[in-house]
Amino acid sequence: MSPSSLHTQIFENLPDAVILTDAEGFITAWNPAAERLFGYSSEEAIGKTPLIILEPATAPQLIGQIRMATRQHGQWQGIVCYRRKDGGGGVLQAISIPLYDEQGVFVGRLGIGRVPGGQEPVSPDLKAALFQLNAITETIPLGIFMTDPQGRCLYANPACQRITGMTFEETLNDGWAKAIHPDDREKVTESWSLASQCGAVFESEPRFVHRDGRTLHTRMCARQIMDGDRLLGYVATVEDITERKNAEALLREQTEQIRNFALRMAMQNEQLEASARKLENLAATDGLTELKNHRAFQKRLEMEALRTERYGAPLSLLLLDIDRFKEYNDTYGHPAGDHALKEVAGKLASFIRDTDFAARYGGEEFAIILPETENAGALALAERVRVAVSEIVHVLRPLTVSIGVATWSARACDRQSLITRADRALYAAKRAGGNCVVCLDQEETEAKQSLPPE
């Protein structure tokens, strides 16, 4: 008997199902035991792939496991969930052996399946668990794929295929890596290699380019599959986080828009506040002399009077009137008179402290509020002002002022009485010929002191 005939008899009479496939995975031989076990004749099976007898829920994962194992160990052994032509099925023990020619070129696989004693080699519970595990892997929305130690893909579940837009076959080998965005591919390779060297879990958020051209944001994690100290490959997950990234980008954009809007509003508020302050200042300022006006004077004096009433702080007031100002206007004209008013206002502004308050009281009259100032201090300042006005040179004739001084006291214990008393003192100065300072408090004190004792 020739070796060829012997091999044929062995092949035909083996009790185990024997299947031969070529390098592309198509069935080239199918023995009678396979016909009996799976229900397909040799003619029906040859030219097909083993997928016709594999349980659909477990087939892709099983193919990946076989490819990984044969690259590492030369063969694969394990449990296969199969399906007959008539729809029945079960679980069998199987072995897959890679075949090579004399030059070492891979030419196909030899697959042997056995159901010992016609019974399933595993319990019903284990069989159910296998189906559940594979059902989860195939239906879970999280992409799952396995690679060999070199990163060549051996298995990719449907979710992974949806992320890449590739078929199962296109994803295999380095197909999955080609789907990574070109700008992210090198970074993923370097990070994966570094994590592998450290034995750490690889984590990254690369972009994938779907077959239809869309760019998807993903989160990828991978860990090693070890057999003791030997690296068998990697199992990785890929999650499509495009919606989350888009939402984050939208949130950042909206936050930036809100921030810019808030900045614009803050700037507008500052401008409005500045405008309001400017308007308020204009409303409180005399347009000619740029001192505060009568309205602002009354408001400030009211505030200082309330402070004096509450805390007992000293308070004095000066009222000034330019002597013979009507004559000056009639002689030199109103423009010259306006210039004279501005010169006097400038001199007053140069004399007062930051806490003092100078205002144009009306016409050629001015007022100076002196907080925290006793009568003696007010008289001294009034005299310096009188002298300074008389020394103004940029006018058409020398100017003089009459000044009335009043200090908060029992006779002037509110805003109006303080004004009235200063006004009376001013008129006393005018009646005395002008160019002088008068304080009724001082005159009354001197008059009292000149009376004979009783």
Query: What amino acid positions are annotated as catalytic residues?
Result: 364
Give CA torsion, residues 150, 152, 158, 161, to 10 deg.
120
The 10 Å Cβ neighbour count of residue 248 is 12
Task: Say how many residues make up the chain.
Answer: 454
3-state DSSP assignment of residue 56: coil
The 10 Å CB-count burial string (b at 16+, else e) for 405-418 is bbbbeeebeebebb
Dist. CA 250–CA 231, nearest whole Å: 42
Helix residue spans in 14-112 (DSSP H): 32-38, 42-45, 59-73
CB–CB of 323/389 below 8 Å?
A: no
Q: Which has the closest alpha carbon to 371: 312, 293, 423, 416?
A: 312
From the list 126, 30, 32, the residue with the least C-alpha distance to 79 is 126
- Greatest Cα-to-Cα distance within the chain, rounded to the nearest angstrom: 170
